Amino acid sequence: MKGDKAVKIELDNKTMTNHLINSGGAKVQGEKSFGEVLKNALESVNTYQKEYETVLYRHLIGDDVDLHDVVIAGEKARLSLELTLQIRNKAMEAYQEIMRMQI
């Protein structure tokens, strides 16, 4: 289609392509909605947190888990949560800015 822009979003090593038609943001059939993308991202953050808890627990009870695997899982969980909080903060700032606008 003429005027299509492709935006790629990479989440958890999965790439999604969202086509924006004439910068109008119209959803193409078969594409994921913003809500679905957000839900998948939050599920990914939750998965990283659970993986970290599992690896840490296994290390603490004496299973054969290397310390560097525990640290890597912890950093993934921390970074994903930090990114989620930053996105939330930006969304809240945008909402507050919209609410301050006069009609």
Mean pLDDT comparison of 5-9, 24-28, 29-33, 67-71, highest-scoring range: 67-71
65 and 78 assigned to the same domain = yes
6 and 20 assigned to the same domain = yes
Is this model's pTM higher than 0.75 or not?
Answer: no
24 and 36 assigned to the same domain = no
Q: Tell me the two tokens of residue 88.
A: 């939330």
Pairwise CA distance, residues 25 & 31, whole Å: 12
Domain that holds residue 85: 32-100
**pLDDT, tens digit, 9 for 90 and up, residues 41-82:** 999 999 999 999 999 999 999 999 999 999 999 999 999 999
The pLDDT score that the predictor gives to residue 25 is 52
7 and 48 assigned to the same domain = no
**pLDDT, tens digit, 9 for 90 and up, residues 75-89:** 999 999 999 999 999
Mean pLDDT, the chain, rounded, equals 80
